[in-house]
Structure 1
Amino acid sequence: MEKPTRLALLKEIAEYLNEETETYNMMQGALRFLIDGTEFTTGWIFFIDDEGHHELVSDVDLPRALSKHDCKYMKDGTCWCVQAYHNEKLTKASNIINCSRINLANHAYHEETDGVTHHATVPLRSGSEQFGLLNVATPHTKRYSEEDLELLESVAFQIGSAIKRIMLTDQEKEAARINERNRLARDLHDSVNQMLFSVKLTAHAAKVMSKESVSQQAFTVIEETSQQAVNEMRALIWQLKPIGLEQGLIFAITKYSEMVNLSLTVDVEGLIKLPSLIEENVYRIMQEALNNTRKHAGTSNVHLTLNQTASHIFIEISDDGNGFDSGQKAVDNAHGLNNMKQRTKMIDGNLQVNSTEGAGTTIALLIPVKA
């Protein structure tokens, strides 16, 4: 199949990126366009956080040597390009003469490298903001032409711009969702919840006034059912709007832990003062962590640590419960953990989950806080 011209390829990628609304699907699709439309045979994308930790977020047609053991060589350790990116020394598309990841994989599985020994790399950026690295490789190629590097620069710019656009759109959508949830919570509290409470009081009064046992039993059922409905409604309102968050993050999460019958101890360093969008998402992440403990950990003891500095807030949530194998792929697909990861990315944070079977679970969250 004939490859498109570079101008046609850039046009195809741009049209695709304009239609995509989900970050990871967008990167995978753009990378596939790039590999299929050029002489590059494989590519991968790293997200890199402010601490220099990298995450493999997309890959296309990796040699078996690099994809073995769930892409172990791509995920573990560090390498020159990640370090150079973090140290702000990698600012444009470049040839990587010696890649430690490829070297280790080639040494262990020399017959399964597809002839890949070197790669080219380029930062993903939008304006002054950087997100990670786009890497590509071709068999038996040590250096890539200036035309290849220029193409990489153009594609990386397109992907970086798309990442920023999706991030801003997601933030706007989340803000709208928060406002709508708050409105719905107010409506439920002011109308349905009050009516249920009135039904409960009326049933109780009617039971006291009634002389017939059958009627008394009926009113008792109505009263108990109304109380259950009130309890359910209060829990739903808690889910929709963090009651007490206006009095601070610690107050709100402590009240929630009491409602779900968890014993929460809290250590705080610094003044915990966050922008509303960050505070809402941090609360939801902690709420999800508490729910996971309540449902799965087999313990009611949870310890929460918060430490806010001028630039970051650090949060650690730990329990002494059952724990799980945090290395299993099934964990990555867990609904609750995925929700936490999604919210963390929305506020440019970093989430680490550490757990061992029989030894409890610790969730660590680091979030940049702009003054």
Structure 2
Amino acid sequence: MEKPTRLALLKEIAEFLNEETETYSMMNGALKYLIEGTEFTTGWIFFIDDVGQHELVSHFELPGALARDNCKYMSEGTCWCVQAYQNKKLTKASNIINCSRINLANRAHHEETNGITHHATVPLRSGEELFGLLNVATPYKTTYSEEDLELLESVALQIGSAIKRIILTDQEKEAARISERNRLARDLHDAVNQLLFSVKLTAHAAQGITKESVSRNAFNLIEDTSQQAVNEMRSLIWQLKPVGLEQGLVYALKNYSEILQIKLNVSVDGLINLPSPVEENVYRIIQEAMNNTKKHANTGEVKVSLTQNNQYLTIDIEDMGNGFNMSQVNLNYSHGINNMRQRTKAIKGTLDIKSIENKGTNIHVQVPL
């Protein structure tokens, strides 16, 4: 199949990117267009955070040696291009003369490298904002032409602009969701919650009027059920809108634990002073963990440790409940855990879950500040 001209390829990629609304499918698709439309045979993308931590987020047609063990050689050890990127020495598309990771893969599995020995790299950027690196390679090729590098820079700029657009769109959607949640919380509090409370008071008053035992028992049941519904409604309102968060994260967590009727032990090391978006997402993560404990752990106690220094906020959430066998449970199908992962990712953090049957569950979150 004849390759498109470079101008036609850039147009195809631009049209594709303009229609994409999800970051990872966008990168996968753009990488596929680039590799299939050029003489490059493989490519991969790293996201890199502010402290230099990098994550392999997309790849296409990796040779067997580089794809082995969940792309082990692409994710571990030192890497010149990542270090140069972090030190702000990598500002444009460049030839990488000697890649330590490809060298390691070559030495271990030479027969599976498909002739890949060198690669080119280019930062993903939008304006002055950097997101990571786009790398490409071709068999038995050690340097890439100026035309190749210019094409890479154009594609990287397109991808970087698409990443920024998706981030801004997601922020707008999140702001709209927060506004709608707040509206629902107000409506539930002002209408439904007040009606339930009125039913409870009416049932209580009716018990004092009637002398007939069947009626008294019925009114008592109505009162108890109404109180349970009021408690559930308060919990729903708190999940929609973290009332009390303006008085601090610990205050809000303790108030929510009282609504859930579980015992919360909180330890704090350092001054917990967080930007509002980080604070709300951290609250939601811990809230989700507390909900899971209430529903599944068969224990009424949760321990939360919060530690903040100049670089990180570290959160450990622990219960001594049922736990579960991690080899037999697919965490990807848990709505609650996926919610925690999404919120952790939104604040560029990492989340690790460990659980042992009959010994409880520990959730470890680290957020860069």
Could you state the TM-score of these two structures normalised by the residue count of structure 1?
0.90
Deviation, 1:340, is 2.6
Q: What CA distance in whole angstroms lies between the structure 2 residues aligned with 1:267 and 1:327?
A: 32
Which residue is equivalent to 2:106?
106
Q: What CA distance in whole angstroms lies between the structure 2 residues aligned with 1:34 and 1:97?
A: 22
Deviation, 1:326, is 7.7
Q: What CA distance in whole angstroms lies between the structure 2 residues aligned with 1:99 and 1:335?
A: 40
Question: Is the CA contact (8 Å cut-off) linking 2:81 and 2:90 kept in structure 1?
Answer: yes
Which residue is equivalent to 2:304?
303
Q: Is there any run of 5+ residues in structure 2 with no aligned partner, and where?
A: none
Which residue is equivalent to 2:40?
40
Q: What CA distance in whole angstroms lies between the structure 1 residues aligned with 2:298 and 2:76?
A: 32
Q: What CA distance in whole angstroms lies between the structure 2 residues aligned with 1:327 and 1:99?
A: 35
Q: What CA distance in whole angstroms lies between the structure 2 residues aligned with 1:281 and 1:49?
A: 18
Query: Can you list the C-alpha shifts for 1:31-78, whole angstroms capped at 9, x where unaligned?
Result: 111111111111111111111111111111111111121111122223
1:23 counterpart = 2:23: yes
**Deviating more after overlay: 222-231 vs 292-301:** 292-301
Query: Can you list the C-alpha shifts for 1:165-198, whole angstroms capped at 9, x where unaligned?
Result: 1111111111121121112101111111010011
Query: Can you list the C-alpha shifts for 1:111-152, whole angstroms capped at 9, x where unaligned?
Result: 221221111111111111111111111111111111111111
**Deviating more after overlay: 70-79 vs 14-23:** 70-79
Query: Can you list the C-alpha shifts for 1:92-129, whole angstroms capped at 9, x where unaligned?
Result: 11111121221222222222212211111111111111
**Matched residue SS, 2:315:** strand
In the TM superposition, 1:147-296 aligns within 5 A as 147-260=147-260, 261-270=262-271, 272-295=272-295
Given the superposition, is the C-alpha separation of residues 191 and 24 from structure 1 closer, same or farther in structure 2, using an over 3 Å criterion? Answer: same
Deviation, 1:329, is 9.9
Q: What CA distance in whole angstroms lies between the structure 2 residues aligned with 1:181 and 1:356?
A: 32
1:319 counterpart = 2:313: no
1:143 counterpart = 2:178: no
**Matched residue SS, 2:84:** helix
Which residue identity is paired with 1:140?
Answer: Y
Question: Is the CA contact (8 Å cut-off) linking 1:320 and 1:361 kept in structure 2?
Answer: yes
Question: Is the CA contact (8 Å cut-off) linking 2:341 and 2:351 kept in structure 1?
Answer: no
Which residue identity is paired with 1:11?
Answer: K
Given the superposition, is the C-alpha separation of residues 188 and 22 from structure 1 closer, same or farther in structure 2, using an over 3 Å criterion? Answer: same
Deviation, 1:224, is 2.2
Could you state the TM-score of these two structures normalised by the residue count of structure 2?
0.90
Given the superposition, is the C-alpha separation of residues 136 and 262 from structure 1 closer, same or farther in structure 2, using an over 3 Å criterion? Answer: farther
Given the superposition, is the C-alpha separation of residues 292 and 136 from structure 1 closer, same or farther in structure 2, using an over 3 Å criterion? Answer: farther
Deviation, 1:320, is 5.7
Question: Is the CA contact (8 Å cut-off) linking 2:293 and 2:319 kept in structure 1?
Answer: no
Given the superposition, is the C-alpha separation of residues 82 and 50 from structure 1 closer, same or farther in structure 2, using an over 3 Å criterion? Answer: same
**Matched residue SS, 1:160:** helix
Cα RMSD after superposing both structures: 2.4
Which residue identity is paired with 2:317?
Answer: S
Q: What CA distance in whole angstroms lies between the structure 1 residues aligned with 2:360 and 2:119?
A: 41
Q: What CA distance in whole angstroms lies between the structure 2 residues aligned with 1:145 and 1:222?
A: 80
Which residue identity is paired with 1:267?
Answer: V
Which residue is equivalent to 2:85?
85
Which residue identity is paired with 1:355?
Answer: K
Deviation, 1:241, is 0.6
Q: What CA distance in whole angstroms lies between the structure 2 residues aligned with 1:66 and 1:41?
A: 13
Deviation, 1:264, is 2.0
**Deviating more after overlay: 241-250 vs 318-327:** 318-327
Q: What CA distance in whole angstroms lies between the structure 1 residues aligned with 2:242 and 2:96?
A: 49
Which residue identity is paired with 2:95?
Answer: N
Given the superposition, is the C-alpha separation of residues 342 and 320 from structure 1 closer, same or farther in structure 2, using an over 3 Å criterion? Answer: closer
**Matched residue SS, 1:98:** coil
Deviation, 1:364, is 2.5
Q: What CA distance in whole angstroms lies between the structure 2 residues aligned with 1:250 and 1:33?
A: 49
